Amino acid sequence: MTRQVVLLGATGSIGQSTLEVLRRNPSKFTLVAAAACSNVEAMVSLAEEFKPQIVALADVQAASELKDRLGALKLRTEVASGLDGVLEVAAAAEGAVAVAAIVGAGGLKPILEAAGRGCTIALANKEALVMSGQLFFAEVQRGKARVLPVDSEHSAIFQSLPESAQQTLGHCDLEGCGVHRILLTGSGGPFLHTPLEELPHVTPQQALRHPNWSMGPKITVDSATMMNKGLEYIEARYLFNAAPEQVEVLIHPQSVVHSMVSYQDGAVLAQLGLPDMKTPIARALAYPGRVASGVAPLNFAALGELSFCAPDLRRFPCLKLAMEASVTGQSATTALNAANEQAVAAFLAGKLPFDGICNLCRQVVESLYRHETYSLEDIMSLDAEARTLALRLLEKC
């Protein structure tokens, strides 16, 4: 029997890599539903090729155009629109694997919908977890869903942990598993060696040139500021129920060791591979098995040097800010995520300098500190408040 797949964020970088894995394994997976925001062309070709039962676009006008296009092609695929349409696609995840690859906070409600249906969530959308943490796992437990990480570092950590931890994501006992520490690696991005005084003047074009990974624009800028590693630190703490001191961030410029787990007996387990998201996507889709992903095996003889060092927090203040927010708690990480999304959009639009991203995020997090927020309403209202404040601060830039 084939495994059914629901793809949230089908037209993006992770979405397209997922389709490549499905294409390579037609006898193992069937795409039953897909959602995106407004990319009609990519949805038309997806519908023609994979013939899912339902597709949705969050943008109502784009959805209407898609409906006309699929009608003209005489395809039977149903077209849904708006947030409700995306939620309808997420609801099709019952008994399926839902690949959560919508970028940013917009992915949260669809993920919670899918979790409530008791599916397997292959989680790429780290922002959703960063902004909701406990609520996310409460919903996963309530719906008897399961989470499998797709973020390459978290997939590597997952694969380096014993099965007992893999089965209990969100509340696993790292110490009981003999774990000393999780070693979270990151390349350091395009500005690892840029003179510090040049950083305020780097352009979006330079920030979008990641040395190792090909990704969507938001996460590529996050990689340049290392906010991405900060969000991943928060993600790791939630996924693996880790104390702050149980996660150590390491710079590893070659992006070959995707992360490691250091054990109390001195052993270190790691997962290695070429920097290509098809590997962790295939891992999550086929778990506990493995399928071909199309990624070439590592050629160790040709690899050259693998190096590691501690991150310089003066160079990467966003990483420091995110690690501090993680210790402060849920309200700080919710506010941080919202502020960062606004700041990155402003940087890409040429309205904020590179170093302004961290300053803006810090101001929002410090202004909106409040007691812990756990309900969806509280989280969404804090998210909205943080965005409003960020926009107000941006007007003054």
Q: How far is the CB of 158 from Mg ion (least distance, A)?
A: 13
Among 152-160, 164-172, 331-339, 358-366, the segment contacting Mg ion (CB under 5 A)? 152-160
Q: Which of 79, 103, 183, 184 binds ligand NDP (CB under 6 A)?
A: 103
Interface with ligand NDP in residues 272-301 (CB under 6 A): 277
Near ligand NDP by CB under 6 A: residue from 6, 44, 55, 86: 86
Whether residue 262 contacts residue 242, with contact meaning beta carbons closer than 8 Å, is answered with: no
Number of chain residues interacting with ligand NDP (CB under 6 A): 29
Contacts of residue 15, Cβ cutoff 8 Å, sequence gap at least 6: 7, 9, 34, 36, 99, 101
* Residues near 397 by beta carbon (within 8 Å), at least 6 away in sequence: 346, 351, 352, 356, 360
Out of 215, 321, 332, 389, point to the residue binding ligand NDP (CB under 6 A). 215
Instruction: Give which of 348, 284, 311, 150 is closest to 229, Cα–Cα.
Output: 311
Q: What backbone torsions phi and psi does residue 273 show, to the nearest 5 degrees?
A: 170, 170
Query: Is residue 151 close enough to count as binding Mg ion by CB under 5 A?
Result: yes
Question: Taking the complex as a whole, how short is the minimal distance between the CB of residue 126 and ligand NDP, in angstroms?
Answer: 5
- CB 358, min distance to Mg ion, A: 19
Q: In what order do the strands lie in the sheet with 97-100?
A: 78-81, 54-57, 29-36, 3-8, 97-100, 120-123, 146-149
Q: Are 279 and 255 in contact (CB under 8 A)?
A: no
Q: Which residue is nearest to Mg ion (CB)?
A: 151
The answer to whether 59 touches 43, Cβ cutoff 8 Å, is no
User: Considering only residues 32, 102, 147, 368, which one is a binding residue for ligand NDP as defined by CB under 6 A?
Assistant: 102
- Residues of span 353-392 touching Mg ion by CB under 5 A: none
Q: Is 225 in the site for ligand NDP (CB under 6 A)?
A: no
54 binds, among ligand NDP, Mg ion, none (CB under 5 to 8 A by kind): none
Interface positions with ligand NDP (CB under 6 A): 9-15, 35-39, 58, 86, 101-103, 106, 124-127, 151, 213, 215-216, 218-219, 277
